[in-house]
Amino acid sequence: MARSDTALIMIDIQNDFCPGGALAVPEGDAIIPRINHLQKDFAVKVLTQDWHPRSHSSFADNQGGMEPYSLIDMPYGPQILWPVHCVQGSTGAKFHPDLQTDNADLILRKGFRSAVDSYSAFFENDHKTATGLEGYLRERRVHDIVLVGLATDFCVRYSAVDAARLGFGVTVLEGACRAIDLDGSLAEARRDMLDHGIKLAP
């Protein structure tokens, strides 16, 4: 029973975030069978794809000798530096081969501007530049969204919080997400999502 006003948004289920990838999330691939199964329950299905140019400013090796996972100040605020990942057109940027992608209505790419990272599927990390997803969902008459994917404490968290701020009803299926968990980032993400009225479901 697909509810026409609810969208399933599947965040960044790409090779580089799965075991063996450049920014592997522990058990990142374990969520895929459930997500494939869930898709039939949603009238609107959106996939997001982290999609960086090789020159992206979030890559540690583009910041002259900085270590991956260190923090720098960008004009838009603090930014964690990552290993090179999800480079446009690379194998690492492709969806995991087991993910069912044929049913998706929309594939939304993000993080394609060198100067600014984009964790959220709605706004880049400057919290101002829109990706267009809000307009897409509103034109499809979507009021509620269900979020799954990678990683709970980064792209899922920021997408969920932005969606809640925009007035969508938001549920995160934690069992269909996996976290990076850097220095307590998962606990902080859960607190932030609860503070924004997001429903955390198993």
Q: Which residues are near ligand VGL by CB under 6 A?
A: 12, 17, 50, 82, 119, 150-151, 154-155
142 touches 6 (CB < 8 A) = yes
Determine, following the binding rule CB under 5 A, whether residue 124 of this chain makes contact with Zn ion. no
Q: How many CB atoms lie within 10 A of CB 20?
A: 10
Partner whose footprint covers residue 24, from Zn ion, ligand VGL, none (CB < 5 to 8 Å by kind): none
Partner whose footprint covers residue 12, from ligand VGL, Zn ion, none (CB < 5 to 8 Å by kind): ligand VGL
Query: H/E element holding 35?
Result: helix 32-38
| Residue 12 is among the residues annotated as catalytic for this protein | yes
Which class for 91: exposed (0-12), middle (13-18), buried (19 or more C-beta within 10 A)? exposed
Q: Which of 16, 50, 86, 110 is catalytic?
A: 110
Q: How many CB atoms lie within 10 A of CB 5?
A: 14
Q: Least Å distance between CB 52 and Zn ion?
A: 6
Q: Which one of 50, 124, 153, 162 is in contact with Zn ion (CB under 5 A)?
A: 50
Partner whose footprint covers residue 51, from ligand VGL, Zn ion, none (CB < 5 to 8 Å by kind): none
* Residue 30 one-letter amino acid: A
Residue 123 or 154 with smaller CB distance to ligand VGL: 154
Partner whose footprint covers residue 137, from Zn ion, ligand VGL, none (CB < 5 to 8 Å by kind): none
| Residue 110 is among the residues annotated as catalytic for this protein | yes
Q: How far is CA 23 from CA 20, 110, 142, in A?
A: 8, 16, 32
Report the distance separating Cα 80 and Cα 57, nearest Å.
10
Total residues contacting Zn ion (rule CB under 5 A)? Answer: 2
Beta strands in the chain (DSSP E): 3-11, 42-50, 71-74, 77-80, 106-110, 144-150, 169-178, 199-201
Q: Which one, of 19, 100, 2, 85, lies nearest residue 51 by Cα?
A: 85
Q: Least Å distance between CB 8 and ligand VGL?
A: 17
Report the distance separating Cα 54 and Cα 57, nearest Å.
9
Residue 150 or 176 with smaller CB distance to ligand VGL: 150
Q: Which of 18, 86, 155, 177 is catalytic?
A: 155
- Which parts of 101-120 interact with Zn ion (CB under 5 A)? 111
Q: Least Å distance between CB 23 and Zn ion?
A: 7
> Which residues form the catalytic set?
12, 110, 155
Binding site for Zn ion (CB under 5 A): 50, 111
